[in-house]
């Protein structure tokens, strides 16, 4: 009859950081590294972990590698926390908890990944899974300029150069322009079953609009300021006007849900919760 | 028999006695509506103060066996930037919205209350008891009869809207504090806020929360809350809203029997999902039907009889 405390599942680890060593780090691009942590966290593409540096802060990171022994996270040195993590050496310890959030859903025979800046991290891991399932993968990868592109070689090795389209804002590599321009071109030429998008807000909004207009399904991986980060209690990542929590009901959401989020590409909430307009930059966070 | 799970706080009718607790989820108007959509009988947005505050760095939340510890640090956009969010909630939630306010001084409480009153909410909750902001805001007002009463008096002076005083459990006598706020004009009491605690990570020898100390919520605080509500019910005539670890319908009924007319829910969203409000309401109804209670009123304070 009644739900008693015994019926509430408690056989799970407590929500607190596990202290782990950094095993190695690999330079990916200017100011961007993949940092590997000795953690048995098993994450699916799109999910994230919270990384803690004691007495400094705790921040969310998308998983770019996960094999049950190690996880890889993509770290772009942009603020006090990421700069510190970027500078840490193998053997040093951090806290990590997770994985949290939703994952991408693979379907169809041919799909396209659209990655902007270091947003390509989770999509590269997804591409690996798709290939294992026999799904054909196209990849559109963009950044401000050549030296900010990540995972170009890893992606080429996976799907071959013919299936990779690179765009840069300044034309220093690949096509001069935005990933969304390349996406539009691709959808005109080929039948694509699903689009997966990860990158800056404005780019994801534009890609979702393109997909919806073309009648092609897709998912984006949203990002907002995470405080409790995955526990779904603080409300800081609730988005207007539907109120869903991007750390629980996201970060991966489908195009239809993305279209309902009026703040996507327009504004986000800063640490205090005050709304702040999102800059014009389309290609990088 | 069909049980009626509606309840009343003063003249405000709630379709069910579950309320979204302040500090959980309710950062924006849309977030409050999300809780309402998931069954909350009323919602209390996150506390709003006189000016913009960032709150503490992460981690702001950590679990221990029996509950959670939080130190978010009252982040908010400031009253002037927040009225739009409250207005959005009031227009769209479809349930009563009870704004929560705080200040660093009693004058700040008065100023925020006056501005909040322009939206004409049905009630205002006065957060006298955040345990995590002592480093800049000083000791919580709810720890002293005089300080708590002074804040309530000034808020009552600035607005005609009914005022709920939110009290702290970690005081020598909650009866004295409850009496003091009632005499100062509080129209209702919500009890209790979290109480101070600490979790240390032994591998790094560092407190996990960035603020080091945080407020205990969840299962561990529940018997403390029930005891406080029981004591307050014996002392004052004004209605009580119970808060602290309510996770199931049985927990809610226990608080109602101690003297609460409604319960606030926060941490249980983690244990049972955002629709915990609907689940708890269904369980309250089932309990009432199985145990012969046709209305909430028949259970309020039952443990005293």
Mean pLDDT of B150-164: 97
In a domain, A254, yes or no: yes
What is the pLDDT averaged over residues A198-213?
A: 96
On whether both A129 and A248 belong to a single domain, the answer is yes
CA distance B134 to chain A (A): 18
Is the residue at B52 inside a domain? yes
Of A119 and B62, which is predicted with more confidence? Answer: B62
Average confidence (pLDDT) over B219-240: 98
Quick check: is B130 catalytic?
yes
Residue B197 contacts A where some CB pair is shorter than 8 Å: no
Q: Are residues A243 and A138 in the same domain?
A: yes
Does residue A132 share a domain with residue A85? no
In a domain, B297, yes or no: yes
- pLDDT (tens digit per residue) in A243-265: 999 999 999 999 999 999 999 99
Could you give the 3-state DSSP secondary structure of residue B156?
A: helix
Identify whether residues A262 and A189 lie together within a single domain.
yes
Q: Pick from A57, A233, A238: which is nearest to B34 by CB?
A: A238
Q: Does A148 touch chain B (CB under 8 A)?
A: no
How many domains does one find in chain A?
Answer: 2
pTM (two decimals) = 0.95
A to B CB pairs, distance under 8 Å: 160
pLDDT of B202 > 90? The answer is: yes
Residues of chain A with Cβ-Cβ distance to B249 below 8 Å are 2-3
- Could you identify the residue written with the tokens 């809203």? B241
Query: Per-residue pLDDT averaged across A6-26, rounded?
Result: 84
Same domain, A189 and A254: yes
Residues of A in contact with B89 (CB under 8 A): none
- Residues A140 and A272 placed together within one structural domain of the fold: yes
A121 in the same domain as A22: no
**pLDDT value, residue B134:** 84
Range of the domain at A27: 18-100
Kindly state whether residues A93 and A117 are assigned to the same domain: no
pLDDT band at A10 (very low <50, low <70, confident <90, very high): low
**Is A15–B78 a contact, with Cβ atoms under 8 angstroms apart?**
no
Residue B1 lies in a domain: no
- pLDDT at position A190, please? 96
Name A246's Cβ contacts closer than 8 Å, sequence gap at least 6. A101, A222, A223, A224, A226, A237, A238, A239, A253
* Within a domain: A3: no
Q: Are residues A85 and A115 in the same domain?
A: no
Same domain, yes or no: A197 and A237: yes
Which domain covers residue B128, as residue numbers? 7-304
Whether residue B32 lies within 8 A of chain A, CB to CB, comes out as: yes
Distance CA B73, CA A197 (A): 34
Q: Choose the weakest-confidence range: A1-15, B71-85, B86-100, B151-165.
A: A1-15
Name the percent of chain A lying above pLDDT 70. 94
Contact B24 A241 (CB under 8 A): no
- Specify the CATH number for the domain of residue B150: 3.20.20.70
A73-121 pLDDT per residue, tens? 999 999 999 999 999 999 999 999 999 999 999 999 999 999 998 888 8
Banded model confidence at residue A197, pLDDT cuts 50, 70, 90: very high
Domain end residue (candidates: A100, A126, A150): A100
Q: Place B84 in a pLDDT band, splitting at 50, 70 and 90.
A: very high
Please tell me whether residues A161 and A61 are part of one structural domain.
Answer: no
- Is A69's pLDDT higher than 90? yes
Checking DSSP bridges between strand B18-20 and strand B42-43, what pairing results, if any? parallel
Tell me the pLDDT band of A8, cut-offs 50, 70 and 90.
Answer: low
Q: What mean pLDDT, rounded, does chain A reach?
A: 93
What's the pLDDT score for residue A216?
98
Inform me whether the pLDDT recorded for A4 exceeds 80: no
Interface touch B199/A16, C-beta < 8 Å: yes
Neighbour-count burial for B108-141, b at 16+ CB within 10 Å, e otherwise: bbbbbbebbbebebbbbbbbbbbbbbeeebeebb
Answer yes or no: is A9 within a domain. Answer: no
Per-residue confidence band for B78, with pLDDT thresholds at 50, 70 and 90: very high
pLDDT of residue A281: 53
pLDDT at A283: 47
Question: How many domains does chain B contain in total?
Answer: 1
Q: Which residue from A minimizes the CA distance to B53?
A: A272
Spatial CB neighbours of A279, under 8 Å, sequence gap ≥ 6 = none
Q: For residue A282, is pLDDT > 60?
A: no
**Measured distance CA(B84)–CA(B102) in Å, rounded:** 18
DSSP label of B243:
E
Residue that terminates a domain, selected from A70, A100, A130: A100
Mutate to test the interface with A, among B50, B52, B58 (most CBs of A within 10 A): B58
**CATH number of the domain enclosing A47:** 2.40.30.10
| pLDDT recorded at residue A230 | 97
A12 domain-assigned: no
Residues A237-272: b if buried by 16+ CB within 10 A, e if exposed? bbbbebbbbbbbbbbbbbbebbeebebbbeebbebb
CATH of the domain at A239: 3.40.50.80
């Amino acid at each position: 009859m009644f739900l008693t405390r015994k019926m509430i599942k408690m056989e799970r680890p407590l929500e607190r950081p596990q202290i782990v060593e950094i095993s190695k780090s690999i330079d990916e691009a200017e100011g961007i590294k993949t940092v590997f942590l000795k953690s048995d966290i098993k994450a699916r593409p799109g999910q994230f972990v919270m990384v803690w540096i004691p007495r400094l802060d705790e921040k969310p990171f998308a998983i770019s590698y996960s094999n049950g022994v190690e996880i890889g996270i993509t770290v772009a040195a942009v603020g006090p926390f990421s700069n510190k993590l970027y500078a840490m050496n193998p053997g040093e310890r951090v806290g990590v908890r997770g994985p949290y959030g939703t994952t991408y859903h693979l379907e169809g025979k041919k799909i396209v990944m659209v990655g902007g800046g270091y947003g390509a991290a989770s999509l590269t891991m997804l591409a690996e899974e798709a290939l294992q399932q026999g799904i054909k993968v196209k990849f559109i990868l963009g950044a401000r300029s050549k030296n900010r592109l990540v995972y170009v070689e890893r992606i080429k090795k996976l799907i071959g150069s013919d299936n990779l389209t690179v765009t840069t804002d300044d034309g220093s590599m690949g096509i001069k322009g935005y990933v969304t321009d390349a996406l539009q071109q691709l959808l005109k030429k080929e039948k694509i079953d699903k689009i997966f998008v990860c990158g800056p807000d404005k780019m994801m909004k534009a890609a979702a609009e393109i997909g919806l207009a073309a009648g092609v399904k897709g998912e984006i991986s949203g990002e907002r300021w995470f405080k409790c980060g995955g526990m779904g209690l603080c409300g800081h990542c609730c988005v207007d006007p539907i109120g869903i929590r991007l750390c629980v009901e996201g970060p991966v959401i489908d195009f239809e849900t993305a279209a309902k989020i009026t703040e996507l590409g327009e504004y986000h909430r800063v640490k205090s919760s005050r709304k702040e307009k999102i800059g014009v930059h389309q290609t990088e966070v | 028999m069909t049980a009626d799970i509606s309840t009343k706080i003063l003249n405000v009718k709630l379709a069910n006695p579950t309320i979204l607790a302040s500090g959980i989820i309710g950062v924006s108007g849309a977030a409050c509506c999300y809780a309402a959509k998931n069954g909350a009988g009323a919602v209390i947005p996150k506390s709003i103060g006189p000016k913009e505050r960032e709150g503490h760095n992460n981690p702001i939340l950590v679990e221990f066996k029996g509950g959670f510890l939080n130190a978010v640090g009252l982040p908010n956009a400031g009253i002037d930037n927040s009225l739009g969010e409250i207005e959005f909630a009031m227009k769209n939630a479809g349930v009563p919205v009870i704004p929560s306010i705080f200040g660093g001084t009693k004058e700040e409480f008065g100023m925020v209350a006056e501005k909040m009153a322009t939206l004409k909410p049905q009630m205002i909750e006065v957060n006298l008891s955040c345990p995590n902001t002592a480093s800049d805001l000083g000791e919580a007002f709810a720890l002293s009869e005089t300080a708590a009463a002074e804040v309530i008096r000034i808020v009552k002076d600035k607005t005609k809207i009914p005022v709920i005083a939110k009290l702290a459990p970690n005081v020598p006598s909650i009866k004295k504090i409850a009496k003091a706020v009632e005499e100062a004009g509080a129209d209702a009491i919500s009890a209790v806020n979290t109480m101070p605690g600490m979790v240390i990570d032994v591998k790094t020898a560092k407190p996990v929360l960035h603020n080091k100390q945080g407020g205990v919520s969840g299962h561990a605080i529940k018997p403390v809350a029930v005891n406080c509500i029981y004591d307050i019910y014996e002392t004052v005539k004004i209605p009580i809203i119970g808060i602290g670890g309510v996770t199931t319908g049985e927990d809610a009924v226990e608080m109602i029997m101690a003297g609460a007319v409604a319960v606030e829910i926060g941490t249980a969203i983690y244990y049972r999902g955002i629709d915990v409000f609907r689940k708890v309401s269904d369980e309250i109804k089932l309990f009432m039907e199985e145990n012969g209670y046709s209305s909430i009123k028949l259970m309020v304070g039952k443990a005293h009889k």
